[in-house]
């Protein structure tokens, strides 16, 4: 893959705006961990990328878990004593606790209160709540509205169904020259929440698109799965594939204006950890790197001890660290095309580093080879980077003993990966290096 | 062992006060590296714990050393030219240089001066001096008194004996479920000095007492030995036991109000080093950790290259770093029941960590097991620690791959050991973990 | 070798002044990578040390390189339109671009300009320029003079020759008790430049002199070679010797008043790296240590991946970091006898550490041996260092388990190497230590 061409294309095609449009299209759909919302979402993605949609029946055992019943919802509302629909699912998907069991009854405000969820610290926002693994129901509303509720009899209606069906997930395989895989996993279970995680869905979709049209060594597998149960399901059904997965990232929260945050894999020094850190450093923008901890997104499953894939999690502002997280304020105003584009380009840079991370053996390991007589000094040109390019060549030659990858060399030299890679390419062209992998 | 029960007992039984009483009882006795003072001391300890008292005859070869003659003393005094007993061993054990050879003669002040020891910087205190391995005699007195000595003929009397006998030491073995041992070694050779080391003697005695009444995996061996020659003797006579010793601590200086100080073992990263550091960190109080150096107490012998036991030294203020060290000011005013109790509880916490430092293998290593369906989320309760307890469970599950002990997990998670241990216990109860050791 | 005796000798014989005299003698000679200047220089060195002078014919293949033609020059000048010799090689060797091809022609100032080199930022200085591997010619002059050049026809004369001949280098082998070698490599290709590198030539010469008159374990090999092509040549012709080279240093830039700078070997933790750092720390003067990078002097070749010798580079102010570097200001005013002497003594200290870096096995590894009964406590005397000397003995005894060298012990103890070495000597004298190497 040619990173600079891909970057140019991304800018030329305005991928940030395209991602934003996809997010806008998916925003109104009510998703959950199962049900029509997920299917509808995957159908839309299928217009962009060759997506296989998989259905796993309710009751299927996946490791310690069981595929739950399928949840669907047609309508839901709360009527006040005056018979007015004061909360209506039609107005916002977040108004209903996701996975609520069906309910239709009248009750006093006092009886109703335990089923009402608000955010006192953000009184205008609707919170996002779920109750997947405990049978329950509820409504979410703004605290302002909640404070105005008067005593009396309320009518509650949630027309949902929880019946045997299936869990749906999408999978897009972009074949490379080898069967070694890079896995990108994104959760699709959240309803109308933009950053978490329509941004991840859009990013994965457009990464799959661009990688389909370029040559690369790795095979890229993009998973569009409901959180937790989705990754567990995929892992349970695909254990035989895990040995092929060489690197991976859990992708979420890419649209907010915050800096990039990388959470390392369980081992902390996998190639993916080093490639991401190099890409972030080379990009020159403020960013944060944090150690693995067994909480967060699906890295919890991918990095469980019996799976232990070399996968980190790359985001902008992490879950729980921005006010709008899991509220109605995670909307189309929070995510920005330029943040989406920047996230997209960062991912491309990481793929580029992983694709290019060759280990070379110098073909002239005894003393330096003559660079001048091969025209290599003049080839590096006379620009401002000339000195750096020459140092990059010398570093590559010095470290190319068959045990150091280009990432090793870039780290040790403290130089940008692209300089090291360019130097290696020039040296290889002159038969001074032999690629070992 | 149940740490919280033991801590409650320690407080309920006011172990600090009990230790202080034992120190008060032992304070008047004139101990040395051999002789009746040691025997008398061990006899008193025997009233508290099942102590075997060992006698090793003078002349016995112990590695590079030889058991010295036994030293006893009946009286000693210094008479001024007026015939007044101005320094009398009866008044304070420290007045005589410990291990002084017998002497009875008259001499001028000038001849006497080389045998008189004072502390000019603390003119009211009597220093503590010994001359074990060089034949000599002397008196220690306050500098104030020394300054008033007038010229004239002095009468010197030290009625001591240095004759073949034996070196005495005490040993208390508290059997556990296994033959793996934790060794606690305390020196008993100091005369009327409270912190150094009646505090260590009292601590070891009460630790042996409480460990005798609780279940535990390790066998605890408490040594009450004269410094240097005692540890060398025990090691020389017990080489066949060394393989059983898994962890150890040299115990001294526990009664002063200073913070705890841990001096690491020779390797610096033995389990004992990590357990002590974890216990001190979790206790939340100010403390100090220092690297091993081949000076100090009997860790010099236990950590000699041919012995190399995983033993550190846990104290409050270390030898030589408090003004009263090796002076008459190291008396019953320096040591405090509350410091003794705090030291005692710290040792129990360390024992608890070592006892509980299990390595588990998750029985559900592939992805997270369902905690909710097992009632584990509700079991952790709704208190302020709820989040921490849940993280502890997730950390244990994530790290329980059969290669990480609970200490490893607590260190990596940066969490209190008790949280990690409680989480592991809950998970093990639900058959989610299998103990490997 | 007895370091303090050697240091005393160095001061007594005023080696700094002697080195300065040698530099003064060599300063007028026009050296290059080949030719009579180098031969003349080596002939002078031969009066001080037994130097073998090697000639390698033009055209000889040395790894990826070929020995170039021999360059000699008889005269060179530039005449202005008035026929005045305004630049004359007779006045300063730096006036001609080193390795200039012969030229004799008339040309306009405009045509001449690309062949004229100046230093605008230091208008009074003449720069040093070379064109070894590209056929070219040129003159170097002060920028002041350059600014005064008037239009018109200039006469250019460089009477140089580039013909088959040989590359000359010198080699001085100072045999030790073993065949294990310490290699000191110094470049001799620079014309009238004092710090870079007549200082290195003088240092190596006087080190060879003093090491010839003292006993030592290592064999010392001093190479006097043209930069780059010289080290490549030696390595190509001496591959069979490389296994004997245990430590090495590239020696350059010793006369300036700056602090010492050590650039580590490629591995970064070779014995030479640790010995140099210890010597610099123990000397107590400000100094700098930097990581290896594949640029600079001949460490580029010695540390190439297929050679990979444990060699660092010890200098005062490194190349390119002082204003006078590669200019006529690198003259007899820049270098100072006292800096030369300090550099000399530092090298001796490093040799001393390498010579003395024994690994011992304690003959009394079980517990401490009795030091008092062997008179070792009294042997260390009563001076201010008494406590440190005793600690040094205890450290040596504790670490002497057959796996730690004296450098290991000095590093771990954080003590001066000479204290550790003295302690080890005393203990070895009393048969408490056995040397393993």
The CATH number of whichever domain residue A241 belongs to comes to 3.40.630.10
Given a cut of 70, whether residue A382 has pLDDT beyond it is: no
The structure tokens listed for A206 are 């457009």
Lowest-pLDDT range of A147-151, B35-39, C382-386: C382-386
Contacting residues of A for C294, CB less than 8 Å apart = 391, 394-395, 397-398
Q: Are residues C119 and C261 in the same domain?
A: no
Domain presence at residue C61 = yes
- Rounded to an integer, the average pLDDT of B121-137 is 95
Across the interface, whether the CB atoms of C366 and B266 are under 8 A apart is answered: no
To the nearest whole number, what is the mean pLDDT of chain B? 97
| The last residue of a domain, from among A330, A356, A382 | A356
Domain presence at residue B78 = yes
Task: Give the gap in angstroms from C-alpha C363 to the nearest C-alpha of chain B.
Answer: 10
Q: Residue C404 phi/psi, 5° resolution?
A: -120, 130
Residue A1 is predicted with a pLDDT of 85
Q: Are residues B186 and B266 in the same domain?
A: yes
Task: Give the gap in angstroms from C-alpha C308 to the nearest C-alpha of chain A.
Answer: 9
Residue predicted with more confidence, B18 or B372: B18
Question: pTM (2 decimals)?
Answer: 0.95
Q: Are residues A298 and A377 in the same domain?
A: no
Q: Are residues C76 and C199 in the same domain?
A: no
Helix axes C36-46, C199-212, angle to 10 degrees: 30
Q: Are residues A174 and A285 in the same domain?
A: yes
Phi-psi region of C284 (alpha: psi -120 to 50; beta: other; left: phi over 0): left
**Among B61, B62, B64, the residue to mutate for chain C (most C Cβ within 10 A):** B64
What span, in angstroms and rounded, lies between the C-alpha atoms of C119 and C105?
25
Given a cut of 80, whether residue A380 has pLDDT beyond it is: no
Across the interface, whether the CB atoms of C367 and B134 are under 8 A apart is answered: no
Contacting residues of C for A391, CB less than 8 Å apart = 293-295
Q: Are residues B321 and B261 in the same domain?
A: yes
Do A287 and A342 form a contact (C-beta atoms < 8 A)? no
Q: Are residues B226 and B133 in the same domain?
A: no
- Rounded to an integer, the average pLDDT of C1-26 is 96
Q: Are residues B209 and B333 in the same domain?
A: yes
Count of CB pairs separated by less than 8 Å, B with C = 63
Do A30 and A93 form a contact (C-beta atoms < 8 A)? yes
Task: Provide the domain count of chain B.
Answer: 3
Domain presence at residue B168 = no
| The last residue of a domain, from among B327, B356, B385 | B356
Across the interface, whether the CB atoms of B306 and C362 are under 8 A apart is answered: yes
Closest-CA residue of C relative to B308 is: C366
- Rounded to an integer, the average pLDDT of C318-345 is 97
Contacting residues of C for B295, CB less than 8 Å apart = 391, 394
What span, in angstroms and rounded, lies between the C-alpha atoms of A252 and A254?
6
Q: Where are the alpha helices (DSSP H) in A194-246?
A: 199-212, 229-237
For the segment C254-277, what is each residue's pLDDT rounded down to a tens digit? 999 999 999 999 999 999 999 999
User: Which subunits have 3 or more CB–CB pairs within 8 Å of chain B?
Assistant: A, C
The structure tokens listed for C432 are 């408490």
Task: Give the gap in angstroms from C-alpha C394 to the nearest C-alpha of chain B.
Answer: 6
Domain presence at residue C170 = no
Task: Give the gap in angstroms from C-alpha A44 to the nearest C-alpha of chain B.
Answer: 30
Residue B382 is predicted with a pLDDT of 67
Taking the CB of residue C300, how many other CB atoms lie within 10 A of it? 23
Q: Provide the 3-class DSSP secondary structure of residue A170.
A: strand
Domain presence at residue B210 = yes
**Among B360, B364, B365, B366, the residue to mutate for chain A (most A Cβ within 10 A):** B366
As a whole-number percent, the residues of chain C with pLDDT over 90 amount to: 96
Given a cut of 80, whether residue A378 has pLDDT beyond it is: no
The CATH number of whichever domain residue C99 belongs to comes to 3.50.30.90
Q: Are residues B52 and B191 in the same domain?
A: yes
Across the interface, whether the CB atoms of C367 and B306 are under 8 A apart is answered: yes
The structure tokens listed for C340 are 């030369």
| The last residue of a domain, from among B335, B356, B377 | B356
Given a cut of 70, whether residue C66 has pLDDT beyond it is: yes
Q: Which residue(s) pair with A96 in the sheet?
A: A139
Contacting residues of C for B65, CB less than 8 Å apart = 367, 370
Domain presence at residue B177 = no
What span, in angstroms and rounded, lies between the C-alpha atoms of B340 and B199?
7
Q: Where are the alpha helices (DSSP H) in C284-400?
A: 299-302, 337-356, 376-379, 386-399
Burial class (CB in 10 A: 0-12, 13-18, 19+), C372: exposed
Q: Are residues A156 and A206 in the same domain?
A: no
Given a cut of 80, whether residue B202 has pLDDT beyond it is: yes
Q: Are residues A198 and A272 in the same domain?
A: yes
For the segment C80-122, what is each residue's pLDDT rounded down to a tens digit? 999 999 999 999 999 999 999 999 999 999 999 999 999 999 9
What span, in angstroms and rounded, lies between the C-alpha atoms of B274 and A389?
47
The CATH number of whichever domain residue B429 belongs to comes to 1.10.10.10
Burial class (CB in 10 A: 0-12, 13-18, 19+), A84: exposed
Which of C52, C54, C57, C84 is CA-nearest to residue C68? C57
- Rounded to an integer, the average pLDDT of B373-379 is 86
Burial class (CB in 10 A: 0-12, 13-18, 19+), B104: exposed
Name the residue range of residue A116's domain: 70-163
- Rounded to an integer, the average pLDDT of C291-315 is 98
Strand ranges, E, within C27-84: 52-57, 61-62, 65-66, 70-79
Q: Are residues B284 and B147 in the same domain?
A: no
Domain presence at residue C171 = no
**Residue that has been written with the tokens 């694709």 in this structure:** A355
């Amino acid at each position: 893959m040619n990173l600079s061409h891909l970057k140019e294309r991304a800018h030329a095609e305005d991928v940030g705006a395209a991602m934003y449009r996809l997010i806008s299209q998916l925003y109104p759909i009510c998703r959950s961990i199962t049900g029509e919302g997920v299917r509808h979402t995957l159908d839309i993605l299928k217009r962009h990328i060759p997506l296989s949609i998989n259905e796993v029946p309710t009751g299927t055992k996946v490791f310690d878990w069981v595929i739950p019943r399928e949840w669907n919802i047609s309508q839901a509302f709360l009527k006040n004593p005056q018979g007015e629909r004061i909360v209506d699912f039609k107005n916002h998907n977040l108004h209903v606790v996701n996975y609520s069991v069906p309910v239709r009854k009248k009750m006093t405000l006092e009886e109703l209160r335990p089923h009402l969820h608000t955010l006192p610290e953000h009184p205008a926002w609707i919170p996002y709540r779920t109750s997947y693994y405990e049978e329950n129901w509820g409504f979410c509303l703004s605290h302002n509205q909640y404070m105005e509720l008067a005593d009396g009899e309320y009518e509650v209606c949630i027309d949902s169904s929880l019946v045997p069906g299936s869990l749906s997930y999408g999978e897009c395989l972009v074949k490379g020259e080898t069967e070694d895989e890079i896995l990108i996993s994104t959760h699709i279970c959240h309803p109308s929440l933009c950053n978490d995680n329509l941004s991840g869905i859009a990013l994965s979709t457009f990464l799959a698109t661009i990688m389909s049209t370029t040559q690369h060594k790795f095979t890229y597998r993009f998973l569009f799965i409901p959180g937790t149960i989705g990754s567990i399901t995929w892992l349970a059904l695909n254990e035989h594939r895990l040995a092929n997965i060489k690197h991976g990232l859990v992708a979420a929260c890419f649209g907010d204006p915050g800096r990039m945050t990388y959470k390392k894999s369980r081992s902390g020094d996998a190639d993916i950890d080093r490639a991401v850190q190099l890409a972030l450093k080379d990009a020159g923008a403020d960013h944060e790197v944090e150690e693995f901890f067994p909480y967060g997104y699906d890295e919890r499953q991918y990095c469980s001890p019996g799976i232990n894939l070399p996968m980190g999690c790359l985001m902008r502002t992490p879950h729980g660290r921005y006010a709008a997280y899991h509220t109605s304020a995670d909307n189309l105003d929070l995510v920005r095309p330029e943040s989406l584009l920047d996230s997209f380009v960062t991912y491309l840079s990481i793929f580029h580093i992983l694709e290019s991370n060759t280990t070379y053996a110098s073909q002239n390991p005894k003393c330096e080879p003559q660079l001048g007589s091969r025209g290599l000094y003049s080839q590096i040109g006379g620009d401002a980077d000339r000195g750096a390019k020459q140092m990059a060549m010398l570093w590559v030659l010095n470290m190319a003993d068959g045990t150091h990858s280009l990432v090793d060399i870039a780290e040790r030299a403290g130089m940008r990966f692209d300089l090291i890679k360019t130097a290696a390419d020039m040296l290889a062209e002159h038969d001074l290096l032999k690629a070992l992998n």
